[in-house]
Amino acid sequence: MEQAAAGFSAALTTGLQRHAWMCLAAAVLAGCGGGGGEPSANPVPEPPQGGTPEVPSLNLGRDSFYFAPNAKTSPEALQSIAGGDRVVASWNAYNDQSGEVLKPGLKVLFFGHAEGCQGGLMGPTEPAPSARLAQLSALTGTATDAVGRAMSWRPTAATAGCNTEVWSRPSASAVFVNASDTAGGVAMLTAKASVNGSRADVVQVKQQMMVTVYNHQCRQDNSAMPCQIQYLWNTAIVRSGVTDWSTQRWFQRAQVWFDPAQGSIPIVSGPLPASGVTTLEEDHGLSIWTSQGAASSHTPFAGKKFDATISFQQLSNVLRITTARKVGKSPGDVTDAEVAAVWGSRWAEPAAWSLLTSHVGQEVYNPDSQFRAEIGGNFSSLFVGPQ
């Protein structure tokens, strides 16, 4: 069987984050920094900033989430990440009837078409055998000298709802954790032979990091509202036919859109520019985040640090953009009362916002049945917290 997306996600308990938002920073591989800000009633476009600022040390504590596999990272330690009591690993968890995917803890999730299986089926995973781990090591650039029991996962079709003839067909996609002080990390390989899609002329692979932030008062004020925002940064992306990414206008700025697959929550997605450069929203030119690490990559790389920092002013810009979409105005004309009607009475209070999930994942889009596309990579640490 084949999968088109793989992810390594931590769903956090609300008590883990104490909402001390001055600037939310998300970084893969190393530390990150940032600054503060207060929401403005009349947001104005912020021009891109240049330079290479010094990155401060990680602000570790009860207000942050930090994961870096080392020799102490046992299967039991993975089970207790972010207040969880087990690792939830599955494929196509769209219809999770157990509710396990939404509980606090570590998730290893695969998505995509499973050949020979019923549509909408949520399936199990299995450990990757040692021979396959050796192959994955070469494909992801990750050592496998300390991959313990219950620390590797790949989708399996050996479940009710799949034809028995595909039960023994192994999946190429996999995730594993190497628990080492010298070569610790999380490796991911996502492969797809082909997938149905609307763009028959495009093959694309990408790696990304994501965080979701949540306003607790919003849910209490109006349960019909989404009350959460998901940020998605492309750390690596390759697309067929594209050699000069500076010519790709759609990749130069952040996009704000609503994802129907997730209950129409707002998604803020885009590239990571060079360190010190602020990414602007594509329609109104409002400041959305600032990079303090490496720029999005379009070729193989090793040892890079990716860092995105969001000030509260930048978060407030997203709140006004999403409210403007709902009320049919421009963000600058949206009133505080209109924002409150969408995001709750405490939308402008940093203490009302907290981190809900953090995630590192990969995606493959490949409509060409004659072509095989895959992406392999790893990360050695993930940090999300105030700076």
pLDDT, tens only, 226-250 = 899 999 999 999 999 999 999 999 9
pTM: 0.87
- Position 386 confidence tier, pLDDT thresholds 50, 70, 90: confident
- Position 27 confidence tier, pLDDT thresholds 50, 70, 90: low
> What is the rounded radius of gyration, in angstroms, for the C-alpha atoms of the chain?
21
> Which pLDDT does position 63 carry in this prediction?
81
pLDDT-above-70 percentage for the chain: 83
Evaluate if residue 337 carries a pLDDT over 70.
yes
Greatest Cα pair distance, the chain, in angstroms, is: 61
> Is residue 245 within 8 Å of residue 238, measured between CB atoms?
no
Q: Of 380, 326, 345, 367, which Cα lies nearest the Cα of 143?
A: 380
- Position 332 confidence tier, pLDDT thresholds 50, 70, 90: very high
Evaluate if residue 195 carries a pLDDT over 60.
no
> Is residue 319 within 8 Å of residue 244, measured between CB atoms?
no
Mean pLDDT of 329-352: 96
Q: Of 179, 90, 93, 81, which Cα lies nearest the Cα of 126?
A: 90
pLDDT tens digit sequence for 303-322:
899 999 999 999 999 999 99
> Which pLDDT does position 32 carry in this prediction?
23
- Position 97 confidence tier, pLDDT thresholds 50, 70, 90: confident
Evaluate if residue 34 carries a pLDDT over 90.
no
> Which pLDDT does position 371 carry in this prediction?
80
Which residues have a Cβ under 8 Å from the Cβ of 238 and sit 6 or more positions away?
204, 205, 206, 298, 299, 375
Alpha-carbon gap, residue 85 to 201, rounded angstroms: 44
Evaluate if residue 357 carries a pLDDT over 80.
yes
Report which of residues 261 and 365 the model is more confident about.
365
Q: Backbone phi, then psi, for 307, in 5-degree steps?
A: -145, 130
Which residues have a Cβ under 8 Å from the Cβ of 278 and sit 6 or more positions away?
46, 47, 48, 49, 287, 288, 289, 290, 291
- Position 205 confidence tier, pLDDT thresholds 50, 70, 90: very high
CA distances from 1 to 127, 140, 192, 193, 360 (A): 15, 20, 9, 10, 22
CA distances from 248 to 148, 239, 252, 279 (A): 43, 11, 7, 15
* Total structural domains within the chain: 1
Lowest mean pLDDT among 36-45, 233-242, 263-272, 348-357: 36-45
pLDDT tens digit sequence for 107-163:
999 988 788 898 878 899 999 999 999 999 999 999 999 998 899 999 999 999 999
Evaluate if residue 82 carries a pLDDT over 90.
no
Mean pLDDT of the chain: 84
Mean pLDDT of 337-342: 95
- Position 212 confidence tier, pLDDT thresholds 50, 70, 90: very high
Alpha-carbon gap, residue 21 to 359, rounded angstroms: 19
- Position 51 confidence tier, pLDDT thresholds 50, 70, 90: very low
Mean pLDDT of 74-86: 93
Structural domain of 194: 5-386
> Which pLDDT does position 319 carry in this prediction?
97
